[in-house]
A and B are shown apart, each in its own frame.
Chain A
Amino acid sequence: MFQFLVDVLMRACDLMLVAIGMSAVYSLMKFPNIALVQYAATGGILAIVLQKIGAPVAVAIVFAVVLTGLVAVILNEFLFNRMLKIGSSTAMIGSLAVSLVFSAAFLVTVGPNPSRFRLPVSKPIRILDARITEPQLVSFAIVAVALGVFALLYFRTDLGRCMRATSTNEVLADATGINTARMKTIIVLISGVMAALGGVAIALKGEVDIQIGMDLLLPVFASAILGGLGNPFGAVAGALLISLVETVVTTINFGPLMGQVVVFLPVAYASAISFLLLVAALLWRPRGLFVSEVKRV
């Protein structure tokens, strides 16, 4: 049972940071940036490559994350900001195109074979009957710390207040002198860093191949939408829900239902589940699970 909880949490960690980034960017830029899943891939792959070149793991991770954040800012400045002047759907389609370019670039540079961090092999720790490896713990800690720091920034600092003010009414924020253009650049940087950290967290737990970004797309999108696009901490709940359902579906023994002893759904079905949840959310809760009742004209 505890193993089940650990599995859910680990899967949620994979999705959470990228989903938060997507939601946060949406709240200020008003378009869902699909390229974020590729920023996650970039973070993970870059960190592995840097370690291969000879950098210590921690250094490799920091460099990869910072570089990815910068890439996010540059792409935003030169591509997405310009596309947004045409329209948010243009920017979204543009971000899909950018994602495909990323996939091609990964294929050319690192090749189709999966790679992983070179980490000392350690025995899994047993906690309450669940087996947890050291890299899993580190990856969990990275996600938890990133989440905590972002929450502090978002809710307790003036910067966060200004970002939230900008997200709800840009003109009003402008009118009080908030530099909304700078707020947007900062949120893009933060989202790039968060996504890259998410990618690193995934890479720490196992192999990473160049499809990792596109594999993340559906569950991350579903998490962000379930949480209500533009509500970054809703995306946390969305990620937990998606992971819960994915894990339930892949660990339940459907055998007795079908008159057989053991029938498990293949892991491939997990993404079908996030797709189903996404469709359900779009149909019944298009503004997310946490629609606040505060809407007054």
Chain B
Amino acid sequence: MSDSVLAIEGVAKSFGANQVLANVCFSIRKGEIVGLLGPNGCGKSTLLNLISGVFPADAGTLAFQGENMTGQSMDHIARRGLVRTFQLPSMPRRMTVAELLHGAAARGAGFGSLFRRDASEMAEIDGLLDELALSHVRYLPAASLSGGQKKLLSIALALRASPRMICLDEPTAGVHPNLRHHMVGLLRRINASGITLLIVEHDMHFIRELCSRCVVMDRGAVIADCKPSELTSNEQVVEAYLGNARQKRAMA
């Protein structure tokens, strides 16, 4: 697959005796919006942590745009354009939202913008804050935001890091339905600008609306890789999600 952006091959990870991922293989093509689903404890978050370099994989390779990222540091991976958001990010107490957004794109490369700021950069940040309904809190300390707002800020930070691909960790959990609808539009626009998206999500409506493809995991392995519409007809998926309920019904 020559147009694959992210190629995951034979990835495994254990925490002590607990094998969380075993031989996970799939790849994501450029421009796709892929949903990553699975019951709690199936290894979604661990996979996301491996992809973004929070910790290294025990086995297997992760390649981003043809470059082997296995064992690379998190900031290196992010600078190559593979960034992620956090589900419950803790934000700085002594930095405002706007400051944080300015810093995120700068990466400490230079002393630039000592006093004056680039007008286009300001406009970009304004637009981003508008889009994520964060304009009114831009001069507040980032730590004072609500959980949902922090999640939005996490997305904004990811966008500021000039990404080629973003991995979103449950972007809609705890977000108001209106804003969720808004977020679908935002993510579509982000995607239309050429950024590939991998979305870890429990909300099926959100996935159906947005994703062209779904990867479903259960107990550390990929059990399905299909269109969202095909999910309900997939035996294994239904088993993984509803297995218990079914058994109970059968026994009743």
CB-based nearest B residue for A297 = B147
Q: Mark A178-213, 1 if CB is under 8 A from B, else 0.
A: 111111001000000000000000000000000000
Chain B proximity of A193: nearest CB distance (Å): 16
If A175-B83, A177-B75, A177-B83 touch, does A162 touch B106 (CB 8 Å cutoff)?
Answer: yes
Chain A proximity of B235: nearest CB distance (Å): 37
Q: How far is the CA of A171 from the CA of B109 in the complex (A)?
A: 18
Q: Which residues from chain A contact B91 at a C-beta distance below 8 Å?
A: 168-169, 172
How many residue-residue contacts, CB under 8 A, span A and B? Answer: 126
Q: How far is the CA of A172 from the CA of B52 in the complex (A)?
A: 11
In the complex, are the beta carbons of A161 and B99 less than 8 A apart? yes
Q: How far is the CA of A162 from the CA of B161 in the complex (A)?
A: 13
The range of chain A's interface size is 20 to 34
In the complex, are the beta carbons of A169 and B102 less than 8 A apart? no
User: In this complex, which of B54, B75, B85, B91 has the most chain A Cβ atoms within 10 angstroms of its Cβ?
Assistant: B75
Determine if B19 is an interface residue (Cβ-Cβ < 8 Å): no
In the complex, are the beta carbons of B79 and A158 less than 8 A apart? no
Q: How far is the CA of A295 from the CA of B85 in the complex (A)?
A: 21
Which of B53, B83, B100, B144 makes the CB contact (< 8 A) with A165?
A: B100
In the complex, are the beta carbons of B113 and A174 less than 8 A apart? no
In the complex, are the beta carbons of B161 and A176 less than 8 A apart? yes
Q: Which residues from chain A contact B145 at a C-beta distance below 8 Å?
A: 296
If A162-B106, A172-B157, A176-B83 touch, does A157 touch B112 (CB 8 Å cutoff)?
Answer: yes
Q: How far is the CA of A161 from the CA of B110 in the complex (A)?
A: 11
If A158-B108, A161-B102 touch, does A292 touch B141 (CB 8 Å cutoff)?
Answer: yes
Chain A proximity of B78: nearest CB distance (Å): 4
In the complex, are the beta carbons of A168 and B103 less than 8 A apart? no
In the A-B complex, list the 9 residue pairs whose CB atoms are closest, starting with the nearest. A161-B103, A158-B106, A162-B108, A168-B92, A177-B78, A174-B74, A176-B104, A177-B79, A176-B161
Beyond A165-B103, A171-B74: 18 further Cβ-contacts under 8 Å?
Answer: A152-B114, A156-B114, A159-B106, A161-B100, A161-B103, A162-B108, A165-B92, A165-B100, A165-B104, A168-B91, A168-B143, A169-B90, A172-B154, A175-B85, A175-B157, A176-B104, A178-B103, A179-B75
Residues of chain B whose beta carbon lies under 8 Å from any beta carbon of chain A: 52-54, 73-75, 78-79, 83-86, 89-95, 99-100, 102-104, 106-115, 141, 143-146, 154, 157-158, 160-161
